[in-house]
């Protein structure tokens, strides 16, 4: 999180990087040196991973965690299964309660539609300085058969900013075309 603070990172991915080593350690302890257990376990995890609805990395870590507890109980290591469930469950709860990996600030996604003749390089920089703590141009897309551009920004809004005033200022520059300001999506899964 510290090395990627200027880029987007997924809070779910940061969460998973804490949970997964403990779960993998427990699975390796259960399998030991038994090749048959290792191969069958690999098949089960592959089947569950690729047959389930794709989610974020936190969801996958939760499935892996539950499967490792079930594996321990199924192999007859009931005390180990209970200990694993309690320790990892407390770690999971603690990380959730303390908001580990959650991004600080008021990060939003801003989509601005502009006409093709408007030079968008720096066109909104003064507004971003006034109303935000920083903005990054994430994507440029042509629409309406190339007569319009759609700019997508990741913007860190200042506290207690008047969003209507901000939107009105942008409308004056983009010729009253579409503007969308919404909560930043959480679907970024890689650093």
Q: Is 29 left (phi over 0), alpha (psi -120 to 50) or beta?
A: alpha
Which of the two residues, 22 and 86, has the higher pLDDT score?
Answer: 86
Can you say how many angstroms the Cα of residue 147 is from the centroid of all Cα atoms in its chain? 33
Please tell me the predicted confidence (pLDDT) of residue 175.
86
Please tell me the predicted confidence (pLDDT) of residue 51.
58
What distance in Å separates the CA atoms of residue 27 and residue 140, rounded to the nearest whole number? 45
Do 134 and 117 touch, CB atoms closer than 8 A?
no
DSSP state of 98: T
DSSP state of 54: P
Q: Looking at the predicted structure, is the pLDDT value of residue 4 above 90? A: no
What distance in Å separates the CA atoms of residue 100 and residue 94, rounded to the nearest whole number? 9
Q: Where in the chain is the domain with CATH 3.30.70.360?
A: 106-183
Which of the two residues, 84 and 39, has the higher pLDDT score?
Answer: 84
Do 27 and 84 touch, CB atoms closer than 8 A?
no
The mean of the pLDDT values for the chain is 80
Class of domain 106-183: alpha beta
- Residue-wise pLDDT for 96-122, tens only, equals 888 887 766 678 889 999 998 888 888
Q: Looking at the predicted structure, is the pLDDT value of residue 136 above 90? A: no
């Amino acid at each position: 999180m510290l090395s990627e603070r200027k880029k987007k990172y997924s809070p779910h991915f940061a969460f998973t990087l804490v949970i997964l080593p403990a779960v993998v350690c427990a699975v390796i302890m259960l399998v030991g040196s038994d090749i048959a257990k290792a191969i069958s376990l690999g098949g089960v995890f592959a089947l569950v991973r690729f047959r389930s609805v794709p989610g974020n990395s936190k969801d996958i870590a939760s499935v892996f965690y539950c499967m490792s507890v079930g594996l321990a109980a199924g192999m007859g290591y009931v005390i180990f299964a209970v200990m694993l469930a309690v320790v990892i469950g407390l770690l999971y709860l603690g990380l959730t309660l303390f908001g580990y990996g959650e991004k600080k600030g008021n990060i939003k996604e801003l989509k601005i539609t502009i006409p093709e003749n408007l030079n968008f390089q720096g066109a909104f920089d003064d507004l971003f300085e006034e109303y935000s703590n920083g903005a990054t141009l994430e994507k440029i897309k042509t629409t309406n058969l190339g007569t319009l551009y759609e700019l997508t920004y990741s913007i860190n809004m200042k506290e207690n900013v008047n969003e209507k005033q901000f939107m009105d200022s942008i409308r004056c520059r983009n010729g009253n075309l579409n503007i969308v300001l919404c909560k930043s999506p959480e679907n970024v899964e890689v650093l």
